Amino acid sequence: MTRPEASLAPNRSRTPLIALADELGFAFRRPELVRQALTHRSYGAPHNERLEFIGDAVLNCVIAEALFERFPASTEGELSRVRASLVNRDTLARLARDISLASDILLGDGESRSGGADRPSILADALEAVFGAVFLDGGYAAARTAILQVYATVWRHLDPAALAKDAKTRLQEWLQARRMQIPEYVVTELAGEAHAQTFTVECRIPALGIVAPGSGASRRAAEQAAAESAYAEAADQDDVGRRG
């Protein structure tokens, strides 16, 4: 398949575009969509918010369809819970880091200086926008393939027996089955006004060297998000260990 020659931004090589195409399993015919998907509003227009909107819808549809096919005996409530855990901000941010998306996001000077490239909300929005760009460029089938390829590692560790359990319970049971201590949850940041606070929590598992962050509108929600990330990281380590 012929790779597009256009670059993501002026004075950039085409390497980032090729790398992203490899991660997605899709070669863009309209590289201007990639640039828009990776442009934060602080950088200028056209930015990625409209693509994020359509990418969010496509992502939810793809994940819902895939869960429906994989777990035919699961209830609507169980499927809804696992879908929510797969498409939340922290999962998307972690997947964006996995494919090294941060280095390609275009940010304004102030946002860049404040560490915006590693901010979960910016990473998650950019990944959704990329999925939206794939959909507009290649259609639903291409978007489905790209999404499931990015989610491949997470998908391998989905356990139908755990669908009804929350992330903290699932992680604790996984650790106890391996005779490890339960994780520690530490609040590392509390931001925003009293009526609209955002909690950031770290889930720490010293035995595995894992420190997984999570954010939410309450401490409980942040702990659940952190536990979800920690569980995925622990399962990845376990998978690598078995293959090694």
Higher pLDDT, 36 or 195: 36
Higher pLDDT, 89 or 64: 64
Q: Quickly state the pLDDT bin for 239 (edges 50, 70, 90).
A: low
Q: What is the pLDDT of residue 141?
A: 96
Domain identity same for 110 and 199:
no
Q: Quickly state the pLDDT bin for 11 (edges 50, 70, 90).
A: very low
Count of structural domains, the chain: 2
Lookup: tokens for 122? 């910016």
Domain identity same for 63 and 104:
yes
Higher pLDDT, 82 or 53: 53
pLDDT, one tens digit per residue, over 104-158 is: 888 888 877 777 777 888 999 999 999 999 999 999 999 999 999 999 988 887 7
Contacts of 160 (CB under 8 A, 6+ apart): 70, 71, 73, 74
Domain identity same for 148 and 35:
yes
> What range does the domain containing 62 cover?
15-158
pLDDT of 14 higher than 60: no
Given 117, 133, 158, the domain boundary residue is: 158
Order of all β-strands in the sheet with 198-205: 184-191, 198-205, 210-216
Q: What is the pLDDT of residue 111?
A: 79
Of 18, 38, 36, the closest CA to residue 28 belongs to: 18
Cα 44 to Cα 232: distance, rounded to the nearest angstrom:
35
Q: What is the pLDDT of residue 146?
A: 95
Of 90, 111, 125, 128, the active-site residue reads: 128
The CATH number covering residue 221 comes to: 3.30.160.20
Q: Are 214 and 90 in contact (CB under 8 A)?
A: yes
- Indicate whether 5 belongs to any domain: no
Given 129, 158, 187, the domain boundary residue is: 158
pLDDT, one tens digit per residue, over 155-176 is: 887 776 666 678 898 899 889 9
Of 52, 56, 111, 125, the active-site residue reads: 56
Q: What is the pLDDT of residue 4?
A: 35
Neighbours of 80 (CB within 10 A): 14
The CATH number covering residue 39 comes to: 1.10.1520.10
125 is catalytic: no
Domain identity same for 104 and 138:
yes
Domain identity same for 104 and 216:
no
Full 3-state SS string of 194-211: HHHCEEEEEEEEHHHCEE
pLDDT above 90: percentage of residues in the chain: 41
Domain identity same for 48 and 149:
yes
Q: What is the pLDDT of residue 160?
A: 62
Domain identity same for 139 and 171:
no
Cα 3 to Cα 14: distance, rounded to the nearest angstrom:
10
- Indicate whether 8 belongs to any domain: no
Phi-psi domain of 148 (left: phi exceeds 0; alpha: psi -120 through 50; beta: other): alpha
Stretch 203-207: mean pLDDT: 95
pLDDT, one tens digit per residue, over 175-191 is: 998 999 999 999 999 98
pLDDT of 9 higher than 70: no
Find the angle CA(215)-CA(123)-CA(149) to the nearest 5 degrees.
105
Domain identity same for 116 and 174:
no
Given 107, 140, 158, the domain boundary residue is: 158
Average of per-residue pLDDT values in the chain:
84
Q: Quickly state the pLDDT bin for 94 (edges 50, 70, 90).
A: confident
Domain identity same for 132 and 176:
no
52 is catalytic: no
Domain identity same for 107 and 222:
no
Domain identity same for 68 and 183:
no
pLDDT of 212 higher than 60: yes
